[in-house]
Amino acid sequence: MKVCTKCKEEKELSEFGKEKENKDGLKGSCKSCIAIYQTSHHRTKEGKLKRVYSNQLKSSKERGHNPPTYTKQQFIDRFINDKKYLLLHSKWVASDYDKMLSPSFDRLDDYKGYSFDNIQIITWQENDAKGRLDIIEGRNNKVSKAVIGTNIKTGNTIEFFSSKEAFRNGFNQGAVSACCLGKRNKHKGYKWSYK
């Protein structure tokens, strides 16, 4: 058993995270108190920016982009007093931390990494909607493969940035994909292949 330095309650050792520097090898505060602190800290103006920066580092690595061109401190200094950021943060707080209204940093060009000239502040909801629209309208094709249909009679070709866009233009998405994968010969008079 161990007493938490924050809530002063005696708890099972399993309620404490590991900390090599301490004699007993455990953190002084219990997991519950640390979670409460982290949640409240991440909701502060500076804490939110720190969390966003950490997410930018993580997503840059996952996408194969270079890390942000700015440091965490430069990012905080740039936006901690930004009028739009402060407005969105205050609306987020007033909404009782509704995820949809959370301040978010969108990359203007989704094919480039994070830099001050390639980000804008919008809500999480706006960022999510923009990402979905970019996929639908073909501005972001990282999750889609372009398809080419060759007319069997004329040899003329048509191209769509995804099988989903072909569907929106009157073709069966599954049939187009099946042709591209070699599971079907043709669909609506066209032979289909990935670009």
Amino acid letter for position 47:
G
pLDDT of residue 68: 97
pLDDT of residue 62: 82
- Domain extents for the chain? 2-39, 57-136, 147-194
Q: For 21-57, how does the pLDDT look when each residue is reduced to its tens digit (9 = 90+)?
A: 999 999 999 999 999 988 888 999 999 999 999 999 9
pLDDT of residue 136: 65
pLDDT of residue 144: 67
Q: For 114-160, how does the pLDDT look when each residue is reduced to its tens digit (9 = 90+)?
A: 999 999 999 999 998 887 777 666 666 555 678 899 999 999 999 88
pLDDT of residue 84: 97
pLDDT of residue 146: 80
Start-to-end CA distance of the chain, whole Å, equals: 63
Percent above pLDDT 90 for the chain: 71
Beta-strand ranges (E) seen in the chain are 2-3, 10-11, 16-18, 26-30, 103-107, 119-123, 147-151, 157-160, 190-194
Alpha-carbon distance values, 189 to 146, 156, 164, 180 (Å): 19, 11, 18, 14
Rounded mean pLDDT, 184-189: 93
For residue 81 the two structure tokens come to 């007093």
The rounded distance, in Å, linking the Cα atoms of 72 and 70 is 7
Residues near 74 by beta carbon (within 8 Å), at least 6 away in sequence: none
Categorize the per-residue pLDDT at 109 as very low, low, confident or very high, splitting at 50, 70 and 90.
Answer: confident
Q: Residue 94 above 90 pLDDT?
A: yes
The rounded distance, in Å, linking the Cα atoms of 73 and 149 is 51
